[in-house]
Amino acid sequence: QVPKLPVLGINNNNLEERPYLQQQYVCQRITHTDMFALTALPPGVDKAEWLASNTVAFFKHINLFSSALSEICTPSTCPSACGPGNTVYVWTDDHGRKLKCSAPLYFDYAMSYIQELLTDEDVFPTKAGSVFPTGFVFLVQKVFLLFFRTLAHIYGSHYRETLALGLHPHLNTLFTHLTLFCRQHALLEPEDTEPLQDLITALGRQG
């Protein structure tokens, strides 16, 4: 069961302009590698090991991409952490308290939380012969939900800046890879991906 991080105010009838759905942008990627082959569990590889290595790789890529937009995404430009369709994300702290915070603070919490997990030898073991903990997949699901929300915010709030920087092919490639990996390994629920389901469908048509 995927952990439920609170979502407020999804409005599927929102008719705001979504430039990332325009065909001249949707078709752009930095590679046309077979993403299904890239995300599938290779023969003979332990599934937990595969999830762990990909979690580390996605963290590096998404953190790098977010860093490129750090001067654009500020508490004044983004007073709340939102995605497309009036989706607003709230952070839940270690005591279960829901904190409505700015986008940069939300995603700082998210990346710090993920980094703590990745460097915890009890959660992401690196020594030969170590065993992954019970509930490891649950934690990976939570991490990928945070990855998805990070990219959803970029698409929803900073896509024009991404275009101006020429980073949209990188963003499409990263998002396609992420969503296919999640689908292959059942890491996200349909309700989690709903704010960008139109984009997932559009990218899927590109093959």
Give the C-alpha separation, 2 to 95, whole Å. Answer: 19
At residue 2 the predicted structure's pLDDT band, cuts being 50, 70 and 90, is very low
pLDDT beyond 60 at 144? yes
Please classify residue 163 by burial: count the beta carbons closer than 10 Å to its beta carbon, then call 0-12 exposed, 13-18 middle and 19+ buried.
middle
Q: Which residues are annotated as a binding site?
A: 73, 78, 153, 158
More confident residue, 202 or 149: 149
Please classify residue 110 by burial: count the beta carbons closer than 10 Å to its beta carbon, then call 0-12 exposed, 13-18 middle and 19+ buried.
buried
Task: Check: pTM over 0.85? Answer yes or no.
Answer: yes
Contact assessment for residue 98 and residue 92, using Cβ atoms and an 8 Å cutoff: yes
What DSSP designation does 192 have? Answer: H
At residue 6 the predicted structure's pLDDT band, cuts being 50, 70 and 90, is very low
Token pair 């001249």: residue: 24
Q: Which residues are annotated as a binding site for Zn(2+)?
A: 73, 78, 153, 158
Model pLDDT for residues 149-171, shown as the tens digit of each residue: 999 999 999 999 999 999 999 99
Model pLDDT for residues 89-139, shown as the tens digit of each residue: 999 888 888 988 999 999 999 999 999 999 999 999 988 778 999 999 999
Rg from Cα positions in the chain: 17
